[in-house]
Amino acid sequence: MRAAINQKLIEMGERERLKELLRAKLVECGWKDQLKAQCKDVIREKGLEHVTVEDLVTEVTPKGRALVPDSVKKELLQRIRAFLAQHATL
């Protein structure tokens, strides 16, 4: 069922819309700037020339998850639940 729902999400374009919505909200609330500052720290630590994508991802992603504000999470969840209520067949 999970796969079916995910497929529906993608096919109907809803996943793309949700992604854009999330991105916009995260920029608005300053999350992106906070995380960019974190990235700067990692870069200064590892050295500008030698930093890799893996470095950034492993260091920054957990902080990124934690720093998402609750209001943003709530709003996204609302939209997701609405979609599931309409399209999830059990």
Contact positions vs another protein (CB under 8 A): 2, 5-6, 9, 15, 18-19, 22-23, 26, 32, 35-36, 39, 43, 48, 51-53, 56-57, 60-61, 64-65, 68, 73, 76-77, 80-81, 84-85, 88, 90
Residues 6+ apart with CB under 8 A from 56: 39, 42
Q: How far is the CB of 13 from another protein (least distance, A)?
A: 14
Q: How far is the CB of 89 from another protein (least distance, A)?
A: 11
C-beta separation of 68 from 31 below 8 A = yes
Q: How far is the CB of 30 from another protein (least distance, A)?
A: 13
User: What is the distance between the alpha carbons of residues 32 and 55, in angstroms, rounded to a whole number?
Assistant: 18
Q: What is the DSSP letter of 47?
A: -
